[in-house]
Structure 1
Amino acid sequence: MNSTVKANPVPKLSDSQIQQQLIRLPDWTQQNQQLQRTFILKNFVEAIAFVNQLVEPSEQLQHHPDLLINYNRVTVTLSTHDAGGITQKDFDLANIISQIAETRTGTQK
């Protein structure tokens, strides 16, 4: 068996499915075929600590966000490249990331 073939590909969600899911994650937005949210933390050290907290759940889900760090701002972008857009995996990770952010004092939108 070819090791590059992925078993059980996750299906891309329709626009209506995406909009329905976004109701539960109001701070996240759809940007083209990606989910995105910017988190504002107290300072650079807190931003890096927040990013470090994303490693374990990302590894557990085998799904990794694109991250942009700009001093105290962390922009998280999620997309399932194999599916060519947004899938349930993206929403699962977005939900976990939102929960992590809620536990950090001083985290804003």
Structure 2
Amino acid sequence: MTVFDDDALHAMLAAIPQWSGDTKAISRTVQARDFRTAISIVDDVADAAEEADHHPDIDIRYRTLTFTLSTHSAGGVTSADVDMARTIDAIVNGRDTTE
């Protein structure tokens, strides 16, 4: 897998505006309504990550979740990370969250 250069990453981030980062990693923070909602989101992301065999780093601070994506074997952000970011967005959208 090829790591995005700065220009390619900038173009990709424009398509997933809740995400930010650099060529090493991208991240998004979400605040759920409560802890149970946050864990429900994490459970759904875990299922999707297992299915895709591409796993985000997830930081849980009560109801605040931070998802970080990087393709460790490639040494930076690849199309697999952008695909997983879109999957996480689909899971988060429609849930009781704030940015």
Larger Rg: 1
Superposed CA RMSD in Å reads 1.0
TM-score (norm 1): 0.87
Structure 2: tracts of 5 or more residues without a match = none
Deviation above 6 Å: which 4+ runs of structure 1?
none
Residue type at the aligned position of 2:28 = R
The percentage of aligned residue pairs carrying the same residue is 34
* 3-state secondary structure, aligned to 2:12: helix
Residue type at the aligned position of 2:68 = T
Task: Indicate the residue corresponding to 1:21 in structure 2.
Answer: 12
Is the counterpart of residue 62 in structure 1 residue 23 in structure 2?
Answer: no
Superposition pairs of residues 1-109 of structure 1, within 5 angstroms = 10-31=1-22, 33-104=24-95, 106-109=96-99
TM-score (norm 2): 0.95
Residue type at the aligned position of 2:24 = Q
Structure 1: tracts of 5 or more residues without a match = 1-9
Q: How many residues of Structure 1 are paired with residues of Structure 2 in the alignment? A: 99
Which stretch has the larger CA shift, 73-82 or 52-61?
Answer: 52-61
